[in-house]
């Protein structure tokens, strides 16, 4: 079916929740996407960071095909192959920066998306507050954060433009400035919306414009919450699974240990899967019946996630992201109009001196390059983790020529 036909069908029969770009992708391989007319594109957004190991990764594709031929789904009333092994792998990755003596098992609940993972984290934090903090239920998040579009995760998402149309949102959420420890402490000491049970943060805000927590701030947040028996939830939906390089998760670069971590995106290489993991006694707060999901942790999703994690390990992705990410940042710094670069590894944003980011994205698409913008002057880069300097060397001249004439 042609692009025009597809556009008409979606216009007539789909809810208009996206302003789609005028291209219809039909296949992909590694860093490359192909449209319905046979044109190819270098993909530097990777399904918003989800296609972590590249399109049609052989091991992941094979695992999905083999599992689909055996069993897709039976529901969570039963045991299936691979789910326990996947939960164990996540526990090991979450403990990767700890010595064996300090490692505590993490328990995981599997969902279908990052928003669902954050919903689970919110419920778990409130359950912990009810059991251990006299019913404390308020959750503090940072301004410009993004935690999802379900009502509770949207209430935690401190972006008024995304919230306004859906008020009244669920109560019990408070927003403070990122990297302002005084503002956080003030809210902890004199809560404006009831006793606090948890703080939820992204180590690097993704949809908010790739805004990192400072080392001093995140360490202070951990100290302040720990002293009060308040939980720290780290949203690793976009930063997780080596996206920031070196360590599996961004929080591990900060020398902290959260209580709850929400996961998704890169875990399944494009296969929908999310997870909420909790360590120690926090992971014991849920009992049968407290939370659930029809499709969460399905046989197909588990097979894809196991294969994705194994591929990351076997291909040395942790070190590759460090090296290629440093090269990408170095080359982006040379471009016209660039005033700032934020982020880490292969999660970078470029701030431009003019509000032309949308024009740049459209021009790039016309030149066979897929990137996106998170604001009028902010370009974002989230390529598959298999990205090499070769693809960067192909992208930079295209960006240079476009930015030079704006």
Give the residue-averaged pLDDT of 279-302.
96
**Model-level pTM?**
0.96
| Cis geometry, peptide bond prior to residue 168 (ω within 30 degrees of 0) | yes
Q: Indicate the CATH number of 3-53+316-404 among 3.90.1150.10, 3.90.1580.10, 3.30.429.10, 3.40.50.300.
A: 3.90.1150.10
Each residue of 376-406: pLDDT tens digit?
A: 999 999 999 999 999 999 999 999 999 999 9
Q: How far is CA 313 from CA 102, 273, 307, 309, in A?
A: 23, 19, 10, 6
Each residue of 213-238: pLDDT tens digit?
A: 999 999 999 999 999 999 999 999 99
- Mean per-residue pLDDT over the chain, rounded: 97
Residue 175 phi, psi dihedral angles, 5° rounding:
-120, 135
Strand partners, 345: none
Question: Domain limits of the chain?
Answer: 3-53+316-404, 65-314
Q: Which pLDDT belongs to residue 99? A: 73
Taking the chain, what is the end-to-end CA distance rounded to the nearest angstrom?
35
Helical (H) or strand (E) element with 235:
strand 231-235
Fold of 65-314: 3.40.640
Each residue of 139-183: pLDDT tens digit?
A: 999 999 999 999 999 999 999 999 999 999 999 999 999 999 999
């Amino acid at each position: 079916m042609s692009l025009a036909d597809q556009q008409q069908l979606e216009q007539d029969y789909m809810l208009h929740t996206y302003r789609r770009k005028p291209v219809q992708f039909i296949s992909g391989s590694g860093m490359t996407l192909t449209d319905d007319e046979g044109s190819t594109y270098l993909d530097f957004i990777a399904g918003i960071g989800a296609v972590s190991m590249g399109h049609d990764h052989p091991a992941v594709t094979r695992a999905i095909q083999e599992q689909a031929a055996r069993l897709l789904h039976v529901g969570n009333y039963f045991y299936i192959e691979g789910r326990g092994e996947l939960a164990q792998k996540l526990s090991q990755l979450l403990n990767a920066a700890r010595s064996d003596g300090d490692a505590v098992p993490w328990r995981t609940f599997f969902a279908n998306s990052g928003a669902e993972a954050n919903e689970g984290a919110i419920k778990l934090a409130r359950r912990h507050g009810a059991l251990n903090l006299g019913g404390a239920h308020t959750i503090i998040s940072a301004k410009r954060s993004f935690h999802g579009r379900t009502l509770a995760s949207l209430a935690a998402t401190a972006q008024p433009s995304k919230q306004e149309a859906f008020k009244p949102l669920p109560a019990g959420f408070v927003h403070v400035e990122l990297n302002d420890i005084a503002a956080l402490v003030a809210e902890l000491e004199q809560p404006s919306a009831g006793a606090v049970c948890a703080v939820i943060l992204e180590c690097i805000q993704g949809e908010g414009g790739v805004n990192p927590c400072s080392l001093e701030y995140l360490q202070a947040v951990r100290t302040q919450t720990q002293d009060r028996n308040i939980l720290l939830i780290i949203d690793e939906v976009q930063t997780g699974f080596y996206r920031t390089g070196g360590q599996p998760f961004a929080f591990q670069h900060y020398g902290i240990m959260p209580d709850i971590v929400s996961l998704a995106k890169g875990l399944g290489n494009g296969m929908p899967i999310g997870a909420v993991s909790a360590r120690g006694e926090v992971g014991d707060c849920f009992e049968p019946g407290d939370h659930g999901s029809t499709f969460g942790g399905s046989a197909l999703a588990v097979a894809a996630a196991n294969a994705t994690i194994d591929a990351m390990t076997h291909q040395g992705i942790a070190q590759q992201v460090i090296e290629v990410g440093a090269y990408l940042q170095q080359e982006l710094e040379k471009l016209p109009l660039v005033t700032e670069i934020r982020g880490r590894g292969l999660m970078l944003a470029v701030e431009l001196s003019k509000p032309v980011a949308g024009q740049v994205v459209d021009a790039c698409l016309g030149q066979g390059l897929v990137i996106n913008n998170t604001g009028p002057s902010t370009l974002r880069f989230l390529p598959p983790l298999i990205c090499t300097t070769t693809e960067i060397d192909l992208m930079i001249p295209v960006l240079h020529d476009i930015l030079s004439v704006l």
